[in-house]
Amino acid sequence: MNHTGAGRALVTGGAGFVGGYLLRALLNDGWHVTATALEPAPSHSRDVSWVYGDLRHPEHVHAAVHASRPDLVIHLAAISHLPTAAANPAMAWDVNVTASVRLLDALAREHTAGILSPRVLLIGSAEQYGRHDLGQERLRETHTLAPRTVYAATKTAQEVAGLQVWRSTGLPVIPVRPFNHSGRGQDARFLLPALVSRALALRDAPNDAPLLLGNSSPIRDFLHVSDVVAAYIALGRDGVAGEAYNVASGTGWSVQDVAERILSRVGRAPVIAEDPALVRPVDVPSLVGDPSRIQDATGWRPQRSFDDLLDDLLHAEAH
């Protein structure tokens, strides 16, 4: 692969939240970019070659591979919203695993035939680690994967499939486990945009009006989405095939911490109350990652602070 960023990249799920940031970053880095999406949209960049269709169907997988002839594949396409996956497990397994296996098989056949040998980033999730009893210790890639949700199980299965293909065919597969990330444009179903929206709605409310939360104790590791896509590109260049990589900040924030920080930014007192309608069973109380492996391999470091991330979300929502 050309390591200067002038190669050909295929991004599945390019129309999603992370996909939009990733496509822009790849173009800025000099890549020729092909992306997949279910259907055309006016917002789709004209600088990207688009292939439309459902990757659960073999003909669309082959169309994407043959149109892109990739040096790098970043596989984002997935059902990534945990409650959506939980509500329809069969669909989640079909999209997150079966479609991934179809893509891996198509790429492996090209690799075995000596036609292509792209580096393949399989984008998983920190949710794969599940519950652990580590105290304040950060999760390393060597910790046991013990998924507790449908979404986490599908991402673990995707990784198992990818590593099997790497071992059996030599196709250079790199599993990636990003921790929580957000930024402008993320769906309000996700935690940070939801909290920002609720906090801004309180601006004209009485001072004692509370910000409503579900579970306030879970601890998560947050990154700005721009840092996450920079990590993906760095791993596409310097990651080691067969090695899994966390994409993490190494710092944990409780939901309570996050809520108070957002309220302070909108000039509200830290008045918080639990809304039973928002409370969900918490299977994983803490997910904080150790980024040492990706930092050692690529030199990647986050460029945006957690406060930068909150300010970005607040500015976007306020305007």
Residue 318, pLDDT above cutoff 90: no
Contacts of 66 (CB under 8 A, 6+ apart): none
pLDDT category of residue 74 using cuts at 50, 70 and 90: very high
pLDDT class of 5 with cuts at 50, 70, 90: low
Neighbours of 144 (CB within 10 A): 9
Q: What is the mean pLDDT of residues 277-281?
A: 73
Mean pLDDT over residues 78-105, rounded? 96
CA distance 158 to 98: 8
Is the confidence at residue 285, as pLDDT, over 90? no
Q: What does the domain layout of the chain look like in residue ranges?
A: 8-183+223-250+288-303
Mean pLDDT value of segment 215-232: 95
- Residue 316 has a pLDDT of 83
The CATH number, out of the four listed (3.40.50.620, 3.40.50.720, 3.40.50.1240, 1.20.1740.10), of the domain defined by the range 8-183+223-250+288-303: 3.40.50.720
> CB of 107 within 8 A of CB of 85?
no
The pTM (predicted TM-score) of the whole model is 0.94
- The residue among 116, 149, 146, 143 whose CA lies nearest residue 244 is 143
> Could you read off the pLDDT of 182-214 as tens digits, one per residue?
999 998 888 899 999 999 989 888 888 888 888
- What mean pLDDT value characterizes the chain? 93
Other C-beta atoms closer than 10 Å to the C-beta of 261 total 16
- For residue 1, name the pLDDT band (cuts at 50, 70, 90): very low
User: Greater confidence, 3 or 70?
Assistant: 70
pLDDT of residue 3 exceeding 80: no
pLDDT, tens digit, 9 for 90 and up, residues 109-147: 999 999 999 999 999 999 999 998 766 689 999 999 999
Dihedral sign for Cα 14, 18, 20, 24, please: negative
